[in-house]
Structure 1
Amino acid sequence: MTGRMRGRRRYAGARLRVGAGRARLLPAAAPEPDMVAGRFSVISPGTERRHLAGEDREAGYMTLGRTGDAAGWVLAPVPHGAAFDAACPGAVTAPPQVPPRLVALARFQQMACLGLDRLPATDLSTVTVVGSGPVALGCVLELRRRGATGIQVVTSRRYPPIGRAPGVTCVSPGAAEPTQLVIDAAGLPRRAADLTAPGGVLGLLGTPDEEAALPALPVHRGGWTVQGMHELAPTAPDTYQKAFTQAVTWLTDHLEPALATAWCRTVPGARAPELFALLESPGRPAEPVLLLDWRDT
């Protein structure tokens, strides 16, 4: 189905459909007039896995295109590889010289920026982040931008790439110490709750399952503040682009190119079905941020 926006099309020509546990590649179509051609798209593993398990639908999270050779990037919340209206809701822009992998990293950092702005004033000297995927990485980067120096990342993965981020110490769930600020970036609120110190703040950044729940009694007795950190919670109209610009600017000025390479992998769009088949397997790429390249597909 083609997305629509106030009577006009928001996107057209999605390149993937998912459902019943598999992904199917769709043929390329010429972009419609006044639409931006999708050049790259960003995979959100948690979102993709949920969609894979459901009914047949267009697959996608964010697609990246250019409005012209001298113009900048436009990142829009449309299906993988689709052409799209550059003015569609939720679209953000970045300068043309920014590499696509930094645009993708900034996307996940933007989520954390918007979520952290909702938290009460909290000491960032010691923070716990639960998870080591792209949402956790974006959170770590945004915490560093805000001056955090001691970030405990709780993950069951061995040698996760997120461990190369400055200020990060990776620990297993059984070895983690409680802290005053805990951010769940993996959709595991119970695990994050177990690590929240009395009087602390628990931020919910990763999307939990519908069945996930926090027990009220520990929240009550611990005196915790529990804060939802979803990026699309109500905010000022210009806040979304502002957060993305802050992330892009900081990454461009501070991130070592070798780290961006270690954290991001670009896969030809034609190989998307086999990549999706690996998302639930031990053979999933180690890099937390995955992009699909649609330019020659």
Structure 2
Amino acid sequence: MFTWDFFLSAVIDGLAYSSMIYMASLGLVIIFGLMDVFNLAHGAFFGLGAYLFVTLYYLTGNFVLSAAVTLALGALVGLATERLVIKPVYGNPLAQLLVTMGLMTLLFTLIQLIWPTGLTFPETSNFLVSGYIEVGSLRVRVYKLLLASFGFLLFAAVSLVLSKTMFGVKLRAGTESRELAEVFGINVSTLFMVAFSLGVALAFLGGALVAPLTHATVELPVYFSLLSFAIPVVGGMKSYTGAFYASLLIGFIDRFTAYFAPWITFAIDLFVMIIVLVVKPEGLFGR
């Protein structure tokens, strides 16, 4: 039966879930959409970030410190991956698919070996993480509101960096024409190294921030791996703004479907992607 509390609960869940999807896909938007690198291991990086964060939280009991260390580890993993795995196969999409598929398989195996049963994020005394507030007769977890807000702040920060800074201008120039960018003195190799490391670090951070709600489960990297590829497709490969709006679209459709027809929740996400590919193959905001 429809009630306003029911509707408000679905809206809040939709905003939180949209932020989760956006954080999962943002690194891939940079790596896949802007750099034209097919990174099938992105979902594994996201899942690994969740596992590392929960492990660090058990060790330190400090949420911010655990998230910061996870972000730093993600940047280091991204740096090593770009130098050792990705750099030799720039410009070769088939080789990129093969090497990142191998890396994905390796990371999935390591996750299952180290954390075979997954990790549950513990209940804490921190009000912002585990607390609830009353909105009318509705009981809402505070962390969902924080997660939704962080998604909007992250979108604003990324938009500012990519559109208003020299790093963003150089990155877009390097992806449009690497040879021409190098002629104008841009060190594209270093630029791509930094951008790839940033993309992987954001994947680690995304996994860390969703862990308090989803926990670190075996299904987490697989589930968000598929969703993270759906977002650039729906929003447009080279559109970082499109990724945000696509996340909102899929997030709200997914959550409202979960409230009324939970048995088709995941299928509806992929169905939206198929419809967009048929109607507008370049994506909703693609050019």
Alignment TM-score, normalising by the size of structure 2: 0.25
Bigger strand share: 1
Bigger helix share: 2
Larger RCO (alpha carbons 8 Å, 6+ apart): 2
